[in-house]
A and B are shown apart, each in its own frame.
Chain A
């Protein structure tokens, strides 16, 4: 395997217990262990996190923006999926 060029990793940080990990950026490292070390130095210098995930960027499968109409438009006209679509008469409570 040619590792002359360190691969790119994506970094996800959980800022505190109870919240999910969130993408914060990326970095280069020789392997995942080094990526964790670098992520700690690069993205948590001011106590921004209590947990770090790193993943090889190549392992991320992303949708194509050209597919956005097919992927996301069908949800737009389904307004009945939102509670505000329904009429609640005055006087009815706890609904």
Chain B
């Protein structure tokens, strides 16, 4: 909630030079106390949070594009109203998160610029196309389902503004997942062509959804530190496993087949075993070589450029009003 400048604390110095502050900070984190914007924090903690929260915000904003693609073609008025509400929520989630990132001393303009120049990343999942209406079902069910798995522990993140934004987001997110599952349910109970459409969507979205949890624990360079700082509560692989465990029975209920020949229930561990993820695909998409990377960024750039006159007009109007009030 604080403006820039207000919260620029003397944490520029390496944490090693401030052992007593660092110890006090870790003590607070260990005691499950929240860190608030004006509190001292290690520069690396601030940097990690800015990176993570802004990536998260960008993902919400870019995430509107694949679904927005179907607003005008939703099969019924009810589905259209639901999809509009969902996409509007995603915009809202992006805004809550940008505000949370700004409390760390980075400006909105900088964040937007990092997205548009490709300097900042967003979730790899949104670089896949939405080819059929069933994709809207699969996104709600799988993509929002995976997002919820990731986000629920973030409600307990050590950084107060991020945790508070996540509480609000999680409250809104469960409708997203349910409306997606309902779309899949309708299709899977429909004609053969509709069932095929649902299966095709599951085939295309399953593996990219598993990739949403990020690299495996052995290759995740930020995990250990983020866990010590209580930004993260579970590792990528732990969350991925939870997601598979809850989602496979949901697919079975729909009568759909998860596209993984190695998927099997392990009686002993009480978990599903699943096949190897194609990490080469993941890194290619992250690098910008996914099916829709270029299209997504072009759409954001276009929206930004075409909205420029609105931002300028609103600012000019506000100036005029302020002058009139001053003269009166």
Interface size class of B (residues with CB under 8 A): 20 to 34
B3, A6: Cβ atoms under 8 Å? no
Which of A1, A26, A30, A46 is close to B1, meaning CB atoms less than 8 Å apart?
A26
Residues of B within 8 A of A69 (CB): none
Residues of A within 8 A of B92 (CB): 41-42, 45
A27, B95: Cβ atoms under 8 Å? yes
Does A8 reach chain B (CB closer than 8 Å)? Answer: yes
Q: Among B50-58, B212-220, B259-267, B312-320, which stretch is in contact with chain A?
A: B312-320
Interface of B is mostly: helix
Residues of A within 8 A of B322 (CB): 1, 31
Residues of A within 8 A of B2 (CB): 57, 60, 62
**Within the complex, what minimum Cβ distance (angstroms) separates A47 from chain B?**
13
Does B99 reach chain A (CB closer than 8 Å)? Answer: yes
A25/B172 contact (C-beta < 8 A), A1-B322, A62-B6, A65-B39 known: no
Which of B96, B316, B318 is close to A25, meaning CB atoms less than 8 Å apart?
B96
Which of A3, A8, A58, A65 is close to B36, meaning CB atoms less than 8 Å apart?
A65
Interface size on A, residues (CB 8 A): 26
Does A4 reach chain B (CB closer than 8 Å)? Answer: yes
Does B38 reach chain A (CB closer than 8 Å)? Answer: yes
Which of B38, B109, B172 is close to A5, meaning CB atoms less than 8 Å apart?
B109
Which of B38, B316, B317 is close to A62, meaning CB atoms less than 8 Å apart?
B38
Binary interface encoding of chain A residues 48-92 relative to chain B, with 1 for a CB under 8 A from any of its CBs, else 0 = 000000000110101011000000000000000000000000000
Query: How far is it, in angstroms, between the C-alpha of A84 and the C-alpha of B130 when the chains are bound?
Result: 63
Query: How far is it, in angstroms, between the C-alpha of A60 and the C-alpha of B37 when the chains are bound?
Result: 14
Does B225 reach chain A (CB closer than 8 Å)? Answer: no
**Within the complex, what minimum Cβ distance (angstroms) separates B103 from chain A?**
8
Which of B38, B89, B172, B318 is close to A30, meaning CB atoms less than 8 Å apart?
B318
Does A16 reach chain B (CB closer than 8 Å)? Answer: no
Does B284 reach chain A (CB closer than 8 Å)? Answer: no
B314, A25: Cβ atoms under 8 Å? no
B1, A57: Cβ atoms under 8 Å? yes
Does B108 reach chain A (CB closer than 8 Å)? Answer: yes
Residues of A within 8 A of B314 (CB): 6, 30-31, 34
Does A28 reach chain B (CB closer than 8 Å)? Answer: yes
Residues of A within 8 A of B135 (CB): none
Residues in B87-145 with C-beta less than 8 Å from chain A: 88-89, 92, 95-96, 99, 102, 107-109
**Within the complex, what minimum Cβ distance (angstroms) separates B57 from chain A?**
13
Max chain B Cβ within 10 angstroms of own Cβ: one of A8, A23, A24:
A8
Which of B85, B108, B317 is close to A28, meaning CB atoms less than 8 Å apart?
B108
Can you list 8 residue pairs at the A/B interface with Cβ under 8 Å?
A3-B315, A6-B315, A8-B102, A25-B99, A30-B315, A42-B95, A45-B92, A60-B1
Query: Top 8 closest A-B pairs, CB basis?
Result: A31-B318, A30-B314, A30-B318, A3-B315, A26-B99, A57-B3, A26-B1, A30-B315
Extra A-B contacts (6), CB below 8 Å, given A41-B88, A58-B3: A5-B109, A8-B3, A25-B165, A26-B102, A31-B314, A42-B95
